[in-house]
Structure 1
Amino acid sequence: MVLELNNNPHIKKIVIFASGQGSNAKRIIEYFSNSQQVKVTHVFSNNIKAPVLKTAHELEVNALHFDRDAFYQTNEVLNLLKDIDPDLIVLAGFLWMMPSNIIEKFPDKIINLHPALLPKYGGKGMYGAKVHQAVLENKEKETGISFHYVNEKYDEGEIIAQEKIALNANETIASLQKRIHTLEHEHFVKVIEGLLTHE
């Protein structure tokens, strides 16, 4: 199902990129579903089997799959984004590096969520449970989440906001993952709302 683009200039448009389950994408879509100011118009995924595509479809948001060629070689994804003209591109569990032509076209309009307190535990290959495992192995006293602008290096863009939690004595990867998800679901929408409605 493909919905008509909303050309109302008063509504800020969000495009979400996700690679997997999409719990953050679902939370963002639902949070803004009744907003008169902000709407999620599209969800893009590099994984054709990603549950996030089904979730987007069920929530009546355009769901699009793309491959490496469309992303890095043919400019197909870039051209789609130009047509949509989003006010914000949100990476919510998206595992590929954004190509430079998209970053250049949408300066300071692409944000990412990382499940640690950057600059610690960032970089290529650091995502999901791998991050939490590293945090626990290094016996950190606290961890959290970081929201940052996207540049051409993994997790090195300017930090927008961070939220911290103290680690429990008996913390496991599973318990930490659950607590971090709760933190993400609470704060992701607040950060997006702040960026799009601050004017």
Structure 2
Amino acid sequence: MQKMAVLLSGSGRTLDNFHSRIQEGSLAGEIQVVISNVKDVLGLQKAVNYGYPAFHAADNDEINRILADYEIDIICLAGYLKLYSPPEKLKRAVINIHPSLIPSFCGDGYYGNIVHRAVKARGCTVSGCTVHFADENYDEGPIILQKTVEVGYNDDIDTIATTVFAAECEAFPEAINRVNEMGIDFFWDRVAK
């Protein structure tokens, strides 16, 4: 069972997904704390409603001071829109989800609908999501899991976003379960150095 910190910047849709799956017993995790870099976002209110400790912290140092009070195995970036630098002991334990198939449409500035617009503009017929460990560079850490979705010729940005988010709701919990089964080091050790 992974003891999780959840970092978010918005509405908390991924937090909703985690909470639901924990309740039904399909996610091998326990949420210890939820932190947002944006004050008064819906995601923090949801965390409070679910009974999780919830905090606003504007920067990495504040986040890491809060995390020091909790026993944490993994930090999940759930729509967290800043580059995060964890404490040293959790350096390899930060997991992110990205709304494309890395290495396509990723890196600094690629998030949310910006990604989906780029997919549409390129005429892609597939897209998807990637769950990966985060490091000091955007979207470059070891990949845990990817899921693909079909993109129809006439799909608009909203349709692509909805389809990809449905895949994210499956992929992120599945990736956490794989980390729980295989361990963090397995994923870091399997990629080229």
TM bracket (short chain):
0.7 to 0.9
Tell me the secondary structure at the aligned position of residue 21 of structure 2: helix
Whether contact under 8 Å (1:33, 1:39) holds in the other structure is no
Give the distance between the partners of 1:37 and 1:166, measured in 2 at CA: 29
Map of 1:1-199 to 2, 5 A cutoff? 12-33=2-23, 35=25, 38-68=29-59, 71=60, 75-99=61-85, 102=86, 104-198=88-182
Q: Which amino acid aligns with 1:132?
A: H
Whether contact under 8 Å (1:111, 1:148) holds in the other structure is yes
Decide which moves more: 41-50 or 110-119: 41-50
- Show structure 1 runs of 4+ deviating over 2 A: 33-38
* Offset at residue 30 of structure 1 (A): 2.2
In structure 1, the gaps of 5 or more residues are 1-10
Give the distance between the partners of 2:114 and 2:52, measured in 1 at CA: 31
Q: Which amino acid aligns with 1:120?
A: S
* Offset at residue 89 of structure 1 (A): 0.5
User: Size of the alignment, in residue pairs?
Assistant: 182
Tell me the secondary structure at the aligned position of residue 90 of structure 1: strand
* Offset at residue 76 of structure 1 (A): 3.1
In structure 2, the gaps of 5 or more residues are 184-193
Among all aligned residue pairs of Structure 1 and Structure 2, give the percentage whose two residues are the same amino acid.
29
Residues 12-65 of structure 1 show CA distances to partners (whole Å, capped at 9, x for unaligned) of 310000100111111102211365963111111011131100111111111110
Query: Which residue does the alignment assign to 2:186?
Result: none
Give the distance between the partners of 1:62 and 1:194, measured in 2 at CA: 26
